[in-house]
Amino acid sequence: MTRLVLRWILNCFALFFVMKLIPGIQIDHFQDLLIGTLILGLLNVFIRPVFVLLTLPVTMLTLGLFTLVINGFMFYLAAHLVHGFRVSGFGTAFVAALLYSIFSFILNMVFLPKK
């Protein structure tokens, strides 16, 4: 359980870094950052696999690059579900999702090494 909470906190930092780097992303309050990270994680766990399965032919044709579009859509959807979390457009969400994935991966590798 503590590992899950630590992963959530690390992903909050990743989202905060993305918000500071990309001008088209705005998060109003700290609780919006926490809720946005939670919603983004839940979307990636429950909704993203359905989209990956439905778009499998396109993903195969693009050699997996279409998953980047799906990640951008999940980021864009999370921004629309959380009141104080705004993204200016899909292009911004696409770049933000890419950076969020990179930052999240690096932070999790550094602070949560595999046993």
Nearest to 24 by CA among 83, 96, 77: 96
pLDDT tens for each residue of 21-80: 999 999 999 999 999 999 999 999 999 999 999 999 999 999 999 999 999 999 999 999
Are 69 and 97 in contact by the 8 Å Cβ rule? The answer is: no
Tallying the residues shown for the chain, one arrives at: 115
pLDDT tens for each residue of 29-45: 999 999 999 999 999 99
pLDDT at 115 over 90: no
Mapped onto helix, strand or coil, the DSSP state of residue 66 is helix
CA 72 to chain CA centroid, nearest Å: 8
Inter-helix orientation angle 66-81/30-46, to 10°: 140
